[in-house]
Amino acid sequence: MTANLVPHDSDVKAIKAHNPCGALLTRTLPSYSGSYSVGARDVEFPVETRLIGSFALADPIKGTRVGFELNTVLYTLFYPCKPAHDQASKVMWFPKLAQTVAGFLRMAHITNWFYNSIARFFAGIAIRGTTFPAFKDAPLLRAPENQPWPVIVFSHGVGCSRLMYSAFCGEMASRGYVVAAVEHRDGSSPWSIITFPDGTTKEMEFMRYTDVNMRLAEIDGVIETLKLITGSIKIRDNHGGIMEDFRGKDWEGSLDTDRVILAGHSLGGTAVISAGADPRFKPRAVIATDPAMQRLDPWEGTIHCPVLSVNSEEFTDSDDFDRLLDAVPTFKGGSTVFSIPGSTHPSFSDVFLILPGLINRKTGLTCSPLKVLSNTIIACETFLEGTLQYVVDQCKVVSGRQSRPFSDDRGPMWVQGDVVNKQDDEDQDRKLMGDVSVELAQDGPQVF
């Protein structure tokens, strides 16, 4: 067996090797390996204002209030596109670099002016001008046979933002998915700005307190606005608060918003697992990487759709991993739990694709960041296609929590053998793909 998964056909493609210098020289993240060009568009949509949470939060305008106030939902759409022949495939990774770096420094409690200046300088060297290879605001490509594109709503982790998982989102878009990467305003992002319908703005800074319920409300709002977008309504993008047609008929009836896939990393993984058990959502599937399960402790939910969890080596030796395995029996639609040797918790984001390999290794990452991305993408794609058994067959079968270090990038992914393919009787005859329940072959293990 090799350390990286081998794609089983031409439709599942491996991702090229990581540049030892990261993106420091090229100033761009790796090209996407799927069949489609990828478009990217920011959308901010006003929703019904509501307060969520039960803690005191000071507002400079309204005074002290209770909880988070949900005013708008902001997300970036990654989607198969039809770019103009002369359009460049470059979108700025951090369009507001100064504010974002300041947010990271607040998160790290760096208040000393000297260290603050040094951190800003080196962060600017590492990040400034970095782009990801998407076509900004390009027209949506019509899906084959005029079927709606499947939709993934992605929830980021603490300390991240909607663009810090552009490699994952772009790869899935290049494989025929429309991905809505949410910008959470629950205090978990380093910096965000809310644009109101009248064009006024308010900054949202990082806070130690976060609320999963706020994330669920935002995910719900994103799904509702996607339903509006497919009706070709007029909405406001987040550049100046103007009202404009959302690409006319390009988006009308183009998204499968009734069977949305929920995906997330860390606290985002927590949110999508929670949403999977929430009757508001009824997702087609849930994908969670390193989910922070302590936020759901004690877990009392039940999920009836298939669940995939791809985890880092670091996470696999944690109490949260134990909590995840304890929750697996409540995943009634079937579940599969993988671990990627040599990986660390942040390696599901774009960060290690940008930094040089030497710095990555100093942080504890012993495998290529593109191994993490490639294995995660292949696992997700085969999971959603109903062919995950191909991936399982290449994995080393283990049981329970594993003590670090269990690999130095010398082996394949690991799979929890005592939970893979487990389903309730009522769900055994269902396959993930397709609208009609079908009987699965009875010879050999089943994917879900």
Backbone angles phi, psi at 240, to 5 degrees: 95, 0
| Four-CA torsion 130, 136, 142, 143, nearest 10 degrees | 20
DSSP string across 378-423:
HHHHHHHHT-THHHHTTSEEE-S--PSPS-SS-S--EEETTTTTB-
Q: How far is CA 151 from CA 169, 222, 238, 240, 406, in A?
A: 11, 11, 21, 27, 35
Domain coordinates of the chain in residue numbers? 38-427
DSSP string across 203-264:
EEE--S---HHHHHHHHHHHHHHHHHHTTT-EEE-TTTS-EEESSGGGSTT-EEEEEEEEEE
Are 158 and 272 in contact by the 8 Å Cβ rule? The answer is: no
- Note the pLDDT of residue 448: 24
- Note the pLDDT of residue 159: 76
- Note the pLDDT of residue 246: 65
Rounded CA separation 326/299 (Å): 9
Rounded CA separation 379/8 (Å): 11
- Note the pLDDT of residue 410: 59
What does CATH list as the number for 38-427? 3.40.50.1820
> For tokens 């910008």, what's the residue?
183
Q: Which among 235, 241, 246 is positioned nearest to 197, based on CA atoms?
A: 241
Which residues of the chain have a pLDDT value below 70?
Answer: 1-27, 53-67, 95-126, 187-211, 232-249, 405-411, 419-448
Are 138 and 81 in contact by the 8 Å Cβ rule? The answer is: yes
